[in-house]
């Protein structure tokens, strides 16, 4: 019998007699389970319960909340293997191997979840005296927003949910989470386990498609919205939030450029470029989606990358030796297939490796390198969000910088080369929330992360991330 997975309100599983939706294994096309769909009344109840639980949680001492977050890390560690298996089955990331050979797969995602918990437990935002003289003293304290709506995507379902949930809880908020309908089972399993160490109602989850997310963000009791996903949906959410002046953090799509300078060593940078582009089959907001390589080393870089691409085993995510899995869902698979086919049919590029979907079942698409493409080609200008890397040859560094900056997105970017002065100088000219030097996508729980332009606004991680899930209260005292 197909298992049914229920959502969680106030620490209780809810979902009997609800309509269900199917969750598919993207490697096989098989049904993994049925997930209960939250009704508008369920969403309203989740917010009510969160609102009721929040003052008690906020009243606990900062240290007590930090201890609880540490318990979440320990709980994730104890359950890492079973949750990683759900991520591999449902999201499609390979487990990632064991020991020194580990690659960034499902086990890596679980380790990142623990690391974010531990770092958030170790940080705090103390009250700050910002001004004092003989006449007055001004202190800034941080207050929770109340109930935070967290909307998470399907690419890193557990890690991104943790990025949203944990800072929010740390600062004394309660949370109602809406995972993607494609990756609801792993998320429900994780929240069920985490909720066991939290007071009831502090962390709730409601499942369903975009309409459930829309009902959640429209609830007038929501104090702040955290959203990670597409620019189109982010824009819709921002419009709803604007009507009630509800603050949002929007972490949206990117189309990150990497600029390889003439003095870069192709062999030395190849592995960094490979993972920068293909981590999670390219389904990562901040990964290299346009690679600009100087003419003098273009062929050598392409050759190094294609050797790596050909050596990486693509297949069953549950097999220990697999390095790359399927594309996560049909919509994404069709988008990638269309972009590559159009490029080839219009004679706009040369496929160096990959290029055609692999025979089914499952949404398997090979790692693909395309050369000979230019700015303006759809495969360069549109965020393909898949295992495809368009490589663009350039002549002058200023041209590459202009190309990198010409789109209206600005999540991440990177520059690769040996001269620290030149790489730093190019980095300072690239328009993105984070510019990496000789690495790409290397996010860290202590380092603020967020987009510019239409890649979103607000930051996550570190002390800035904690501030973003709390509101300031200034206490101004006349002496
Ligand atoms: P969406 O932005 O539609 O999905 C992200 C989350 O928002 C999901 O939980 C989704 O639910 C939910 N959602 C959808 N509509 C609404 C709404 N009106 N109100 C509130 N929540 C809503 O992304 P897609 O899955 O459609 O992916 C499309 C593209 O977005 C990708 O091709 C990629 O370019 C980009 N993307 C970027 C990500 C990032 O990390 N920045 C992550 C994922 C996608 P549900 O999935 O159930 O519909």
What average pLDDT does this structure show over 324-353? 96
* pLDDT on residue 1: 83
Q: How far is CA 142 from its chain centroid?
A: 26
Crossing angle (nearest 10°) for helices 184-195 and 157-170:
30
The single residue of 113, 285, 383, 460 carrying the catalytic annotation is 285
Catalytic residue from among 251, 304, 383, 460: 251
User: Cα(329) to centroid of ligand 1, in Å?
Assistant: 12
Instruction: Provide mean pLDDT across the span 293-306.
Output: 98
Residue bearing the CA closest to ligand 1, atom 46? 180
Q: What is the pLDDT of residue 99?
A: 72
**Domains of the chain and CATH, by start:** 4-252+455-478 (3.40.605.10), 256-444 (3.40.309.10)
pLDDT digits over 404-436, tens only? 999 999 999 999 999 999 999 999 999 999 999
The model's pLDDT over 183-219, given as tens digits with 9 standing for 90+, comes to: 999 999 999 999 999 999 999 999 999 999 999 999 9
The pLDDT > 70 percentage for the chain reads 100
Average pLDDT, the chain: 97
Residues with CB under 6 A from ligand 1: 151-155, 178, 180-182, 209-210, 213-214, 217, 228-230, 233, 236-237, 251-253, 285, 332, 335, 383, 385
CA of 154 to the centre of ligand 1 (A): 8
Query: Is the predicted pLDDT of residue 360 greater than 90, yes or no?
Result: no
- pTM metric for this prediction: 0.97
Nearest to 309 by CA among 317, 298, 301: 301
Would the pLDDT of 17 be above 90? no
Best substitution site from 35, 38, 153, 249 to test ligand 1's pocket, by max atoms within 8 Å of Cβ?
Answer: 153
Per-residue pLDDT tens over the stretch 80-117: 999 999 999 999 999 997 776 789 999 999 999 999 99
The pLDDT assigned to 402 comes to: 98
Query: Ligand 1, atom 37: nearest CA belongs to which residue?
Result: 229
- pLDDT, position 253: 87
Return the ligand 1 atom nearest residue 254 CA. 41
Give the per-residue pLDDT at 97. 79
Q: What per-residue confidence (pLDDT) applies to 9?
A: 98
pLDDT per residue as tens digits for the range 150-190: 999 999 999 999 999 999 999 999 999 999 999 999 999 99
What integer pLDDT is reported at residue 175 of this predicted model? 98
Instruction: Return the sign of the alpha-carbon dihedral for residues 195, 201, 204, 206.
Output: positive
Residue nearest to atom 15 of ligand 1 (CA): 210
Say how many Å lie between the CA of residue 368 and the centre of ligand 1: 24
Q: Where are the beta strands (DSSP E) in 109-216?
A: 128-132, 136-144, 147-151, 174-178, 203-205
d(CA 170, CA 168): 5
Active site residue 139: no
pLDDT digits (tens, 9 = 90+) for 252-288: 989 999 999 999 999 999 999 999 999 999 999 999 9
Asked whether 42 and 14 are in contact (CB, 8 A), the reply is: yes
For atom 19 of ligand 1, which residue has the closest CA? 214
pLDDT for the residue 108: 96
CA atoms of 15 and 17, how far apart (whole Å): 6
Helix 184-195, helix 80-90: angle, nearest 10: 160
Annotation marks residue 285 as catalytic? yes
Share above pLDDT 90 across residues of the chain, in percent, rounded to a whole number: 97
Which stretch of DSSP H or E encloses residue 187? helix 184-195
CA 120 to chain centre: 17
pLDDT value at 70 more than 80: yes
Backbone angles phi, psi at 210, to 5 degrees: -60, -30
Query: How many whole angstroms from 309 Cα to the centroid of ligand 1?
Result: 28
| Ligand 1 atom closest to the CA of 178, numbered from 1 | 9
């Amino acid at each position: 019998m197909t298992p049914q997975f229920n959502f969680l309100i106030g620490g209780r599983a809810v979902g009997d007699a609800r309509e269900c939706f199917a969750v598919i294994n993207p490697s096989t096309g098989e049904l993994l389970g049925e997930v209960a769909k939250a009704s508008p009344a369920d969403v309203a109840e989740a917010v009510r319960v969160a609102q009721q639980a929040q003052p008690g949680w906020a009243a606990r001492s900062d240290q007590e909340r930090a201890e609880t977050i540490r318990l979440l890390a320990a709980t994730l560690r104890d359950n890492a293997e079973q949750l990683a298996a759900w991520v591999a089955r449902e999201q499609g990331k390979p487990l990632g191997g064991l020991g020194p050979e580990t690659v960034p797969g499902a086990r890596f995602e679980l380790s990142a979840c623990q690391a974010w918990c531990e770092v958030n437990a170790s940080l705090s935002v103390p009250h700050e005296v910002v001004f004092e003289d003989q006449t007055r003293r001004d202190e800034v304290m941080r207050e929770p927003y109340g109930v935070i709506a967290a909307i998470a995507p399907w690419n890193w379902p557990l890690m991104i949910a943790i990025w949203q949930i944990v800072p929010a809880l740390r600062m004394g908020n309660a949370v109602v989470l809406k995972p993607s309908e494609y990756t609801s089972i792993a998320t429900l399993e994780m929240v069920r386990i985490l909720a066991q160490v939290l007071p009831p109602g502090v962390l709730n989850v409601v499942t369903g498609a975009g309409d459930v997310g829309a009902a959640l963000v429209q609830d007038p009791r929501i104090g702040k919205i955290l959203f990670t996903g597409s620019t189109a949906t982010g824009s819709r959410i921002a419009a709803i939030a604007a009507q009630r002046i509800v603050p949002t953090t929007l972490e949206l799509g990117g189309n990150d450029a990497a600029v390889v300078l003439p003095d870069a060593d192709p062999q030395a940078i190849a592995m960094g470029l490979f993972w920068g582009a293909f981590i999670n089959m390219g389904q990562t907001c901040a990964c290299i989606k346009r690679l600009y390589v100087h003419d003098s080393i273009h062929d050598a870089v392409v050759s190094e990358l294609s050797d790596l691409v050909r050596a990486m085993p693509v297949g069953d995510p549950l097999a220990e030796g697999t390095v790359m899995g399927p594309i996560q869902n049909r919509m994404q698979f069709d988008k990638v297939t269309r972009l590559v086919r159009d490029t080839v049919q219009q004679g706009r590029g040369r496929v160096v490796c990959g290029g055609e979907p692999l025979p089914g079942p499952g949404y398997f698409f090979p790692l693909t390198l395309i050369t000979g493409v230019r700015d303006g080609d759809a495969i360069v200008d549109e965020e393909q969000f898949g295992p495809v890397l368009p490589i663009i040859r350039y002549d002058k560094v200023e041209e590459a910088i202009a190309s990198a900056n010409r789109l209206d997105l600005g999540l991440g970017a990177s520059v690769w080369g040996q001269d620290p002065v030149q790489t730093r100088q190019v980095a300072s000219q690239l328009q993105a929330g984070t510019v990496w030097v000789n690495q790409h996508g290397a996010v860290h729980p202590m380092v603020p992360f967020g987009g510019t332009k239409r890649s979103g606004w607000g930051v996550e991680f570190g002390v800035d991330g904690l501030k973003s899930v709390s509101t300031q209260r200034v206490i101004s005292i006349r002496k």
